[in-house]
Chain A
Amino acid sequence: MQTQLARRAAMRLLGTLGAAGAAAAAGTFAPYRMVLAAPASNDEPIGPRLVVVMLRGALDGLAAVPALGDPAWAALRSDQDAKAQTQAQAQAQAQARALDSTFSMHPALSTLHQWYTQKELLVVHATASPYRERSHFDAQQLLESGGERPFVQSTGWLGRALQATNKRAIAITAAMPLALRGAEGASTWTPDRRRPVDQDLMTRVAQMYRGDAQLAAAFGEAAVQNDMAMGAKGSAGLAKLAKQAGTFLADPKGPRVAWLEAGGWDTHANQHARLGRLLLGLDESLAALREGLAAQWANTTVLVMTEFGRSARFNGSGGTDHGTGGVAFLAGGSVAGGRVLSDWPGLASGQLYEGRDLRPTMDLRSVIAPIVQRQFGLDPSQIQSSILPGALATRHALWRS
């Protein structure tokens, strides 16, 4: 059954890639499979596009979009920042990236800040899925499956929506992500070249090998080699994939939905420098995505999400631990942006969730539900019963028209 479905999905891919796939095949990106004729589907030549960017490992929402105006901010976070830069520098940067009287954008997120000022970026803050524990696996399972509790649903919310409407989607990943499972029209694509091992995995493996002198010695040298490879094409890799995703969606014969993901956000130690690099890579990738989308940017909604937030305070090693409330981004040519959508809970000790995390005041699914409605034309009751069980759509308008 599983194989049958995978095979049919593979057949669908042949059409999914469309002309963009052929273009990619001719360039540096060689798709795994050759491009044949497009199969019949319900995709109209025009219509809305959706890109979901999943940040695995839990992005620190308070670092990406700091609440500098919150009275408790200075006590909570500024000490750590001050170590890395002078107070004056920090203030100057914060002002340059200010969003409103409370929030500003991380200095690395210049594209996102620009979109915000152009009213094409909506920030959703103090948000979380219904999950309240702190396991990456369980939280990602829930966020991708769209259920209220982890491991209740074995298919994904995008997968069920695609299947219900006979639409196609493409995941820029080697394996089908859970979010897209359950749809015959979902396929995957990755460039046919070996990527360097993710630096985060290399670091974790190095820690695991500490007790094994032989493995540690050999791996120490391997890590140095990998660093050089990453330096050459590390974050540029995600940007290229993002641009390709945009190109797929820009193709009139291509899919309407794309899934991108990036790991490495589990910043337990020395977060300042590392997160800066990661956010810069994300910012560049989103810019590349828009470049690939070209004129279709006007019809596209980009959702950037992560499984949960991180602890409000820094831990003992200059990082943050698994938390609860975090941030999500909505971007696109018709997104009603230039706002921070949040029922801000505050950062004082008594306001934190369990005394340690940003308190989630908005169900992330309340933002996802209207996206599903807009993208797939499904009615709210169907979304609530079978796509995102129990999710209520936010009453805020997310698009301008």
Chain B
Amino acid sequence: MQAAAIASHRFGYSETRLSALQSDPRAWVLEQFRQPVAMDTKGLMDSASALQLTREVLKAALAPKPSDMVEPPKDDLGPMTPSRVTLRQTNMKALQRRWQHAIETPTPVAERWVNFWANHFCVASTKGAMIALVWPHEYEAIRPHAMGSFKDLLRAAIVHPAMLIYLDNAQSIGPQSRAGLLRGKGLNENLARELLELHTLGVNSGYTQQDVTQTAQLLTGWTVNAQTGGKAAFVPALHQPGPKTILGRHYAEGPQALDALLDDLSQHPACANFLATKLVRHFVSDDPPVDLVEWVAGRFRDSRGDLTTVATALFGHDLAWSAANRSKLKRPEELVLSAHRMLNIPVTSIERTVVELKSMGQAIGQAPSPQGWPDRAEDWLSPDALKKRVQWADRFGELNRHAADARALARRAWGEDLSESSRTQIDNADSSAQALALALASPEFQRR
């Protein structure tokens, strides 16, 4: 694979033509981290308002109404109240905004970088209180910090209403705290375990159950509720008193312990290795080359987790540009967004696209676990899911047959990397719609 095609398809969201970045593909990528273009978040609802709206919807769903006798609610969110309509529109608007940004941004690789971290700190609308919080988490916690220090990103991602609710810290109570003693309630270890296992160190990195329990105690008090105004806050009455010991280090009682812990976790050698492996797997190869992982991990440690330095290390290394690594398969959302970007057409029906992505195995905003969406080709390549991809390409080709001449498009978008077999099939298609479908179904477009 030539460097321009790698920059366009492997690292970005598939450019319309390679010629724009052909002169210096590496500079095209690295420059994006010097001046990343931020997504416009004007008019998007903040998480506190979203949470308030969610409360109203859930309240209406739980309250029996006389009309229920005549017309039972369609699902567990209850009747289509004005609040529910607003909430739905809010979600659609946020989704539309981020998709539009991915399609139009002049810095698509930086956007992929943001998306990587949003998935790393996965939250999902798999429980009632989360239905409007997934996208605010991304634009309030992830986007502003994706190019800064990992510790700041980590803190913002954790101390956000979405994560505190999603991983149950909002209801974790120190057993010896004032509230714990009064109500006889206790710890919820969910966030503590995922903080160690998924966000920083990785599984089997040496922490024990004792470390998890102590971390959970340290995290008590960080919550969100009506009293905190729908914002993440430290509530002393919930906090487990006394010092905690995690991975051999001691932390004093109080809110400041969180920053101390996150600093230590960010600088733990396992953290650099865990993140570097995940980054290289996402951006370069399902089987991350060890030398590249070590290089990226080293730069992470040297810079004390400065993410722009880490990105520059990753995308500046020859191994990331290796032509041999062509194992990556686009996730369904990446696939669809790159089609829109390559053809320069907006997503006109958010609802239909959501349905199509779900059929390909990616229910947007509803990742099945806190691990987020998987990153290996085999995770996405069931016969049915692949058929759904072709089905999507078929429909996309038919709807957008006038958007471009697929023959010329394929040559512009892949240059010399367009394989003979794909070129032949695209050129010999029996219609412009079929040619576009074939271009989008081609291994060149499905992979990166």
Contacts and interface: CB of A to CB of B under 8 A. Distances in A.
A140 B431 contact: yes
Contact of A136 (B419, B421, B430): B430
Contacts of A58: 430
B395 interface: yes
Interface in B399-448: 399-402, 405, 407, 419, 421-422, 425, 428-435, 437-438, 441-443, 446-447
Contacts of B407: 137
B398 interface: yes
A-B interface, 9 closest residue pairs, ranked by CB to CB distance from nearest: A57-B430, A222-B387, A221-B383, A266-B430, A222-B383, A56-B431, A212-B443, A218-B386, A218-B381
Interface string B245-258: 00000000000000
Given A178-B402, A201-B438, A205-B390, A264 B425 contact: no
- Interface size class of chain A, counting residues whose CB lies under 8 Å from the partner chain: 35 or more
B384 interface: yes
Interface stretch (A192-200, A289-297, A325-333): A192-200
Contacts of A84: none
A154 B263 CA distance: 62
Contacts of B435: 137
B429 A136 contact: yes
A202 B407 CA distance: 19
Given A137-B435, A174-B399, A208-B443, A214 B390 contact: no
B391 interface: yes
B443 A215 contact: yes
A274 interface: no
A63 B202 CA distance: 65
A390 interface: no
A131 B144 CA distance: 57
A205 B440 CA distance: 10
30 contacts: A56-B431, A57-B430, A57-B431, A136-B429, A137-B405, A137-B429, A137-B432, A137-B435, A174-B399, A175-B399, A175-B401, A175-B433, A178-B402, A197-B394, A198-B394, A198-B434, A200-B430, A201-B390, A201-B434, A201-B437, A201-B441, A204-B438, A208-B422, A211-B443, A219-B386, A222-B383, A222-B386, A225-B387, A264-B430, A265-B430
B443 A209 contact: yes
Interface residues of B, number: 38
B421 A211 contact: yes
A183 to B, nearest CB: 15
B377 interface: yes
A195 B350 CA distance: 20
Contacts of A212: 443, 447
Given A136-B432, A137-B407, 15 more contacts: A56-B430, A140-B431, A174-B395, A174-B399, A194-B391, A197-B387, A202-B390, A205-B390, A208-B422, A210-B421, A218-B382, A219-B386, A225-B384, A263-B430, A268-B428
A54 to B, nearest CB: 9
A264 B429 CA distance: 10
B431 A136 contact: yes
B390 A208 contact: no
A246 to B, nearest CB: 22
Interface string B373-389: 00001100111101100
A375 interface: no
A207 interface: yes
Interface in B343-398: 377-378, 381-384, 386-387, 390-391, 394-395, 398
Contacts of B438: 201, 204-205, 208
A263 B401 contact: no
Nearest to B432: A137
B432 A140 contact: yes
Interface of B: 377-378, 381-384, 386-387, 390-391, 394-395, 398-402, 405, 407, 419, 421-422, 425, 428-435, 437-438, 441-443, 446-447
Contacts of B378: 214
A221 B384 CA distance: 8
A209 B425 CA distance: 11
Interface of B is mostly: helix
A15 B120 CA distance: 50
B411 to A, nearest CB: 14
Contacts of A140: 431-432
A222 B421 contact: no
B391 A205 contact: no
Contacts of A175: 398-402, 433
Interface string A289-323: 00000000000000000000000000000000000
Contacts of A200: 430, 434
Contacts of A223: 387
B329 to A, nearest CB: 8
Given A208-B442, A218-B386, A201 B432 contact: no
A95 interface: no
A225 B395 CA distance: 18
B120 to A, nearest CB: 25
A226 interface: yes
A153 interface: no
Contacts of B382: 218
A279 to B, nearest CB: 16
Given A201-B434, A265-B430, A226 B387 contact: yes
A259 B447 CA distance: 37
Contact of B386 (A173, A210, A215): A215
A214 B434 contact: no
A266 B427 CA distance: 13
Nearest to B446: A215
B441 A208 contact: yes
Contacts of A207: 421, 425
Given A57-B430, A208-B425, A214 B405 contact: no
A263 B429 CA distance: 10
A320 B433 CA distance: 22
A201 B402 CA distance: 19
Given A194-B391, A197-B394, A222-B390, A215 B428 contact: no
A135 B218 CA distance: 70
A205 B399 contact: no
A222 B398 CA distance: 21
A388 B324 CA distance: 53
Contacts of A56: 430-431, 434
A219 B231 CA distance: 48
